[in-house]
Chains A and B, each alone.
Chain A
Amino acid sequence: MRDGGRVQKRTLRRADRRRRFLRDRSLLLMVIPAVVLLLIFNYAPMFGTATAFQNYSIYAGFMHSPWSGLETFRSMFADPLFWQSLENTLVLSLVQLLLFFPIPIALALLLNSVMNNRVRTIVQSVVYLPHFFSWVLAVTIFQEMLGGAGALNQALRQHGYATWDIMTNPDAFKFLVTAQVVWKEAGWGIIVFLAALAAIDQNLYEASAVDGAGRWRRMWHITLPGIRSIVVLMLVLRLGNTLTVGFEQMLIQRGAVGRDASEVLDTYAYYYGVVNANFSLGAAASLFKGVLSLILILAANKIAHLVGEDGLYRK
C-alpha cells in the first residue's frame, strides 16, 4: 500500500513537471542564450582550477603538468604577503559595507521624496554619470582635485595653509577608496532601490495620511518595510562579494600608496600568479577566494531566511 502510494506520488510529480515544462517552455527558451554564455565563460574555465593542484607549465598544458597536490596552497598559506592581502581585503570590505552600502538607499529615499519631476531627473542624471567613467579617469579626477599638486592643495598652499595629500597617504587609503566608490557608484546603486520604492502601493500613503501619520511615521511604517526585502537581497549579494573590493582601482593606485595598503586578494593573484607566470599560485589564490565567497553568500542567505526574508530565493 505504502509502495503504491510512493509510485503514485512519483507519477504525479513527473506529470507535474511535464505540465510546468510545457507551461514555461517559452521562458525556458529565452533563458538558453544566457545559460550558454554562463557555460562557456563561467563553467568551462572552472576546469582550469585544476592548475591550482599542479605544477603548471604552459608548455605541458593542464593535461600533462605534474600534480603537486596541496603544495601550492601550503606555500601560499605560509606567505605573509598573502595574509596581508586577505586582511586588507576584509578591512576594505568592512569599511565599504559601513560607509558605502547605506548611501544609495539614503539617496533613493531622498530622491523619492522630491516631488518636482524635473529636479529629480536632473539630480538622478548627475549622480548616475560617474558610473560610466573608467577607473583610470576617476582616479585622475581625484588626483587633479585632491593630489599633492591638485586644486585643493594648491589653493591651501597659496593661502599659506598646510597641505594634505590624501592621494599618497597609505593610512587614509581605505577611506579614499570608499570615497571614490561613493562618487562613482552611489548614483548607479540607487536604481534598484528606486524601482522598489516605485512598487509600493501609493494608496497606503494616502490611507495613512488620512489616519494622521506624519512624514517620519509613513517612512517607518510604509517605505522601509516596502523596500526591506530588496535591501536584504542586496546585502546578501554584497556579502557574497566581500572578497571583491575593486581590482582595477587597487592596481591603478598601488604605486601611489604602496603594496602594504593596497594589496588585496585579486592583486595578489595577479602579481604573484599572472605577472610571475606562476599560474598555479594565481589559480590557488582565486580558488581560495571563490570557495570563501560561496560560503559567505550561503551563510548570508541562511541568515536572511532565518529573519524571514527571501534572500536569493524563496525557501
Chain B
Amino acid sequence: MNPLDGLRADRRRFLELAGLGAIAFAGSGLLAGCGDAKTTNGPGTTGKDQLKALLPSYVEASNAIKPDIASVQGSNGFFSDAVFLAYPASPVTTATGIPGKGGTYVATTPLWGAIPGTSGNSYYEAVNKALGANVKIQPSDGTNYEKVLPTLFAGDKLPDWIQIPSWNMPKLGFADAVGKFADLGPYLSGDLVKAYPNLAAIPTSAWQCCIWNGKLYGLPVYYGGATFNGMPFYRKDIFDKAGINADEIDSPDKLAALGKELTNANAGQWAFGDMYGYINHMFKFPADPNRWTIDADGKILHRYETPGHLEALNWQNKLATAGYIHPDALADKSQDAKQRFWSGKEVISGDGPGAWTGDDSSSGKAANPTYNRQAFKIFAADGKPEVLMNPSAGMYSFLNGKLSADQIKEALAIANYLAAPYGSAEWLTINFGVDGVDYKMTDGNPVLTEKGSKEVATTYQFLITPLTPTTVKGGDVQATKDYAAWQGDMVKYAVKPAFYGMNVTEPAQYAKLVQPMEDTIKDVRYGRKPVSAYEEALKSWKAQGGDQLRAFYEDIRQKYGTGQ
C-alpha cells in the first residue's frame, strides 16, 4: 500500500482542520484591522515652532553630584559626557518615596546577551520592590527584535510598555505605528514635567527625538550630549615600536601612507581593518542614521551623492586592493574585528566610542601586556574638521495607548525613578540590584557577583535612563581619562546634519533603493569592484527614485525646516 493512501482516506478531516487553521490565522489580521484600517502615510515629522509647545522644560537636577571630570561644552549645543572615576561614596536618594501604586505592567525590551531567569531573580524582585509595582520585563533577543516587532503590531499584541530602537523603525513605517502608543504631551509638555524631577533633568535634545506627528510619544533611552558612530583607533604600543607619532597624522593621505609601513603579511599583521563606517568625519558625509546633507548652493544631497562619500570609497578601495586591509575584514568577518585588533593582526581599526572603555583593555592586555588603544585626533581631508552628530537618543520606550490616565501617571512615576542620575542610591539598585547579593563595591566601583552576573541584565534601563556619564568599567582608569580627553576635544567640531533628530518617516516605496546601493558599496570598499561601478549604481539610484526622494525631503524642508 502507498503510504499516502492513508492521508487520502482522511481527507475530509484534513480539510476541516485546515479551515480551522485559516480562521485562527485570519483572526489576528482581523483584530489588527479593526484598530486602524486607514494609514496616514505622513512624513511623521514636526516643525520647529510646534516643538516649542511640546518639549518638556529642562530643570537641572538640584542634587546633582559633582563629577571627577566635568562635561565640556562643544559647538552647536553639543557637550561631552561627565566622568566619574569612582562611584560616589554616599549615594543620595533622588526620588521621594515609592513611585508605584501596585500596578502591573508588562514591558518588552530588546536584550543583546543571555536572557536572565525570572523565578527567584533577586534583582527583578529588588527593583520591583523599590518601584512599588510589578514591572514584568520580557526581554527579547536584540538581533531578532526587528522580526518580532511587526508581529506584535500585526497581531495587536503590544505590551503595556515597549522599547523600540530607532534602527528598527523604518521597517515599521513608524509614523503609522506610533499612533498605537500613548500621547505623553498632556503629562510632560512644558512645565508639566516638573512633577517628575528626574525626567525634567533630561536634556531637551533627547526629548526632541521622542516626537512624531506633532506629539510627544517616547521616553529616551541611553541618550547623550554628543552621540556618534565611532572613529579610527590605533595600537599605540605598535606605533611606538615603529616610531610613528600619531599626532602627525592629520590627513587621510598620511593615514593611508601608514599602510605599507605597518603591513607585514608574513607575520600576520595588516595595517588596517575595515574603516568605512568610521571615516565619515574625515570626508564629511553623513553616516547612518543620518543620510542627508545640504551643499553650499543649498541643494539637498543624499550621502550617496556627496563628493566626500565618493572620496571615502576611493580611499578604502585603494587600501583594499593594495593589500593593506586584513583579509578577514575583506571577507566581511566584522564580528571578529575586536579580536584582530586585540591580537595586533590589525593595527588601525574603526570602532564605536564604547570600545575604548569597558573590558577592552583587559581583553587587549590578555593578548599583549603592552596593549594600548588610542584614537586619532579629529582631522579632515580639507583641513576643516566637522563631526556630524547622531540624534541624542537612538532608542525610545513607549506606553501602550490603551493604558488609562492613572496607569500612565503611575508608569511615568516609575520612569522618574528609573531616570535617577548616576551616583544616586536608586541608580545602584536599577543597575546592580542588591548590595552584597548581586554586587559588591570593589575599588570604589560596583562589580557584579557571580549570582549578579546571572540575574542582572540591561532590562529596566531600556525603558528610560538618566544621562549616562563615562565611568570606569574594566578597571582601567587611564583609558577612561584618555577617552574623556578625546571626547572633550571632539565636541568642538560637532555639527548638526540636515534633518537632525526630526524623525522623518520615508514613504515605503523608497526602501528598495537601499539594498542595491549598500551591496555595491561593499563590493567597492572591499576592492572587488572599481569605484566606477559605484558611480553606475548611483545613476540608477537617482533614476529609480533617488531624485523623487530628494523632492520628498525638499518638501519637508519647506514645511518643517531642516532641524539644524
B511 within 8 A of A: yes
**Contact at B508–A278, with CB atoms within 8 Å?**
yes
The reply to whether the CB of A60 lies closer than 8 angstroms to some CB of chain B is yes
- A39-B14, A39-B18, A58-B150 known; A20 vs B9 contact (CB < 8 Å): yes
Partner of B10, one of A35, A45, A158, A271: A35
A167 and B33 in contact, given A17-B9, A258-B522 (Cβ under 8 angstroms) = no
Interface residues of B in 1-39 (CB under 8 A from A): 1-7, 9-10, 14, 17-18, 21-22, 24-26, 28-33, 35-37, 39
> Among A36, A168, A260, which residue has its beta carbon within 8 angstroms of that of B327?
A168
A180 within 8 A of B: no
Are the CB atoms of B330 and A168 closer together than 8 Å? yes
User: Which of A165, A257, A275, A276 gathers the greatest number of chain B CB atoms within 10 Å?
Assistant: A276
Indicate if the CB atoms of A143 and B328 lie closer than 8 Å.
Answer: yes
What residues of chain B lie closer than 8 Å to A258, measured between beta carbons?
519, 522-523, 526, 528-529
1/0 per residue A272-295: CB within 8 Å of B? 101111100000000000000000
Is B552 in contact with chain A by the CB < 8 A criterion?
no
| Interface pair B33/A149, CB less than 8 Å apart | no
Q: Does residue A31 face the partner (Cβ distance < 8 Å to B)?
A: yes
A40 to B25, CA, bound (A): 10
Q: With A39-B18, A57-B39, A258-B528 as known contacts, state yes or no: A31 contacts B6, CB within 8 Å.
A: yes
Stretch among B69-77, B170-178, B226-234, B295-303 lining the A interface: B170-178
Instruction: Report A-chain residues with C-beta under 8 Å of the C-beta of B333.
Output: 143, 256
Residue of A21, A28, A61, A64 contacting most chain B CB atoms (<10 Å): A61
Asked if A64 and B37 sit within 8 Å, CB to CB, the answer is yes
Q: A24-B6, A157-B266, A277-B150 are in contact. Are A149 and B32 (CB under 8 A)?
A: no
**A28-B9, A148-B328, A168-B331 known; A58 and B153 CB under 8 Å?**
yes
- Assess whether B331 is in contact with A81, with CB atoms less than 8 Å apart: no
Tell me how many residues of A have a C-beta within 8 Å of chain B.
54
Q: Does B268 contact A (CB under 8 A)?
A: yes
A21, closest chain B residue (CB): B9
Assess the B7–A31 pair: CB atoms within 8 A.
Answer: yes
Nearest-neighbor residue (CB-CB) of B28 within chain A = A61
- The answer to whether A149 and B268 touch across the interface, beta carbons within 8 angstroms, is yes
A231 to chain B: closest CB distance in Å?
A: 20
Count of B residues near A, CB < 8 Å?
Answer: 62
Contact yes or no, B33 A64, CB < 8 A = yes
User: Is B451 part of the binding interface, using a Cβ–Cβ cutoff of 8 Å?
Assistant: no
The answer, yes or no, to whether B516 is at the interface (CB within 8 Å) is yes
Total contacts A-B at CB 8 Å: 158
Within the complex, the shortest CB–CB distance from A169 to chain B, in Å, comes to 9
- Residues of the B chain whose Cβ atoms lie less than 8 Å from the Cβ of A143: 328, 331, 333
Interface class of chain B by DSSP = helix
B496 part of interface (Cβ distance < 8 Å): no
User: B514 contacts the other chain (Cβ, under 8 Å)?
Assistant: yes
Given A149-B326, A255-B331, A255-B522 in contact, is the A62-B511 Cβ separation under 8 Å? Answer: no
Q: Which of B22, B36, B154 has the most CB of A within 10 A?
A: B154
Complex contacts, A64 vs chain B, CB 8 Å: 29, 32-33, 37
A147 to B332, CA, bound (A): 11
What residue of chain A has the Cβ atom nearest to residue B24's Cβ?
A: A44
> What distance in Å separates the Cβ of B326 from its nearest Cβ neighbour in chain A?
6
List 10 A–B pairs whose Cβ atoms lie within 8 Å, in order of A's numbering.
A20-B1, A20-B9, A43-B18, A59-B37, A59-B177, A143-B328, A158-B266, A256-B333, A277-B173, A277-B508
Given A48-B25, A277-B171; 11 other pairs, CB 8 A cutoff = A17-B9, A21-B9, A39-B21, A58-B153, A58-B154, A59-B36, A59-B154, A59-B177, A149-B265, A165-B331, A256-B330
Interface residues of B (CB under 8 A from A): 1-7, 9-10, 14, 17-18, 21-22, 24-26, 28-33, 35-37, 39, 147, 150, 153-154, 170-173, 176-177, 265-266, 268, 270, 326-328, 330-334, 345, 508, 511-512, 514-516, 519, 522-523, 526, 528-529
**Ordered nearest first, which 5 A-B pairs have the shortest CB separation?**
A148-B327, A255-B332, A61-B29, A44-B21, A64-B33
